Chain A
Amino acid sequence: MQPLTLSKVAVRCGILALILFVVVVVALKFGAVPVSLYGLAKDLIGVLIGRSSNISSEYGMIIREIRLPRIALGIFVGASLSVAGTSFQAVLRNPLADPYVLGVSFGAAVGSLLALIIEPHLALRPEVAAVFTPLGGFIGATLTIAAVYLLGRYHGDIDSKTLLLSGVIVGSFFSAMILLLITMLPSSSTRGVVYWLMGDLSTPMPPILGWVLRTGFFAGFALIYLTASDLNLLLAGEKEAMHLGVDVKKVQLVVYLAASALTGLAVSVSGSIGYVGLIVPHLMRMIFGTDYRMLLPASAFGGAIAVVIADTMARTVAAPSELAVGAVTAIAGAPLFIYLLRRRLA
């Protein structure tokens, strides 16, 4: 009997952080302007430990102003989507749950788009305007998961197939809504919006939005992580969890809201990057087991690593033109989803 300890979690997270660092350094290297890997790693470590405050001037501007913000965005978007997927899988008792598959990403996109359309008419202060789209994304995501949850319930229990089907239908309904909303946007912004919908990390965003994304991620993650032991028991079913002392309704509410917030935030800044919340938790379960006290942080790191890698591929594979990162994750994720579904049915 060797239960999980806090130090075990810390050590494993340390290893994952190291892998993320290596991935970030390699990702920074790729691009139109050649950069030395060694010099880059040296400079970055210098910055991280506070020895120096600067990255070599020859490529410093490109790294600091272009590549690093984009990678940072990828880290938080990947971690948010992955943690959201891992959380939905526990409260819905369905290992195939994912913000994209459940239609939550599309709901968040509709919310964000509506906010985008309404915002110019409201004459908001710039700080409020900046968080208006993520707020729309959060509301859209929350309403969607509530709808999917209610549709997927059958005789008081969540039916796995009905749930997934509800997610697909709700998702396709919102896709149609998105098309409708795009026609209402000025034609000048249509191309950008379409690109955003496919999943895109290249659009620069105002610093306040970056701050909202980071704060939102840490707050959402902390809320979900506090329920990690409860989620372990919820996997065995609501009744069983209740008999083991879990306040089921409270935990479900907290996790639904927090996971919807993470999805809404991620989608409002990067569009629909699909399947991250499905693939990453699966891989992490294979490596670290199913204990949510380990799985949640592992999913956060894994999601960050996956999206940074996918985005690096998106901007290098077809260089000088770019793919949408959502296309890369969908190309990898959809076949895996089918494989997992078939294996579960078998």
Chain B
Amino acid sequence: MERGAQDGSRMNADVRLSVEQVSYAYSPNPSQAPIFTLEATSFQVKPGEIVGVLGPNASGKSTVLRLIAGALQPLSGRILLNGAETHLMEPRARAQKIAMVQQESQLLFPAKVWEFVLQGRHPHGKSLRFETDDDVMIATNALRQVGADHLTDRWMGEISGGEKQRVILARALAQQPVLLLLDEPTLHLDIGAQVDFLHTLKKLTAVNRYAVVIVTHELNLAGEYADQVALMQKGKCLRVGTPASVYQRDLLEQVFQTRLTVEQRVNGRPKVSVLESSE
């Protein structure tokens, strides 16, 4: 896929996404105290880099992702994508730059795989539009890149969970984004499909120079595939850095409330094993 416009930023290894001291508070009723707060969080993502946002349930991982996606407005701080605040962008312009892969796509009516992937072309045109030959070419290319071109004419409802995640990724690629956001993309996949998916993602990130933010609680997969991780707990971002530097036994035990061991493997990547409960 052509990424001509972004070559400049690759040369000087510019920061593409900058999360600067971002905080957020959620309360179902404005008069009440917030039931969830996110404290000032900062990290940066360069083109071609994968950042994993890690933490237990309700730690604020998905909130961080939704803030980056521009779906929420930060209480304070800024989120800049190539210098522009994401929540201030027009929805269409934003979707040309940011693509989101969510946990599951619920379909109200059956759709073919190719129809689904073509949806990724929606931001690149007028509101009422019919797909052009270019759109078809880009969608075909996206399916090939994720290794799902053989699924083109299948129904979304009849493919496996792993295949479905690939197709959802293909739709995100068809948006030709500069920033790729993934919310628990491997949640319902078996371990083989998880590794396959992340391997594909890693390869495409290197080739297309996406900036990638991936939310997950799979410590070992993040440790293996992420260039940086941000560890979250109860709305606080505790530490940001390489997996090897963040994966400290004491820290992880405290955050995940379980006993575990961390060993450094020969490739410099950490490996976490959960020990039997101390109770």
Contact = CB atoms under 8 A, between A and B. Distances in A.
Nearest to A247: B91
Contacts of B108: 93, 95, 235-236
A37 interface: no
B128 interface: yes
A290 B112 CA distance: 11
Contact of A3 (B105, B120, B135): B135
Interface stretch (B17-25, B93-101, B254-262): B93-101
Contact of B139 (A1, A242, A243, A246): A1
Interface string A226-247: 1111101101110110111111
B37 interface: no
Given A243-B69, A243-B99, A246-B91, A233 B119 contact: yes
Contacts of B135: 3
A205 to B, nearest CB: 33
A285 interface: yes
B158 interface: no
B130 A293 contact: yes
Name the residue in A5, A228, A246 with the highest tally of chain B Cβ atoms < 10 Å from its Cβ: A246
A225 interface: yes
Interface size class of A (residues with CB under 8 A): 20 to 34
Contact of B123 (A6, A232, A236, A244): A244
B92 interface: yes
B247 to A, nearest CB: 31
A1 B127 contact: no
Interface string B65-106: 000010100000000000000000011111110111010011
Contacts of B105: 236-237, 240
Given A226-B127, A242-B91, A244-B123, 6 more contacts: A95-B109, A229-B122, A229-B129, A236-B105, A243-B100, A244-B120
Interface of B: 69, 71, 90-96, 98-100, 102, 105-111, 114-115, 118-120, 122-123, 127-131, 135-136, 139-140, 152, 175
Interface of A: 1, 3-6, 93, 95, 225-230, 232-233, 235-237, 239-240, 242-248, 285, 290-291, 293
6 contacts: A1-B114, A95-B109, A227-B128, A233-B119, A235-B109, A243-B69
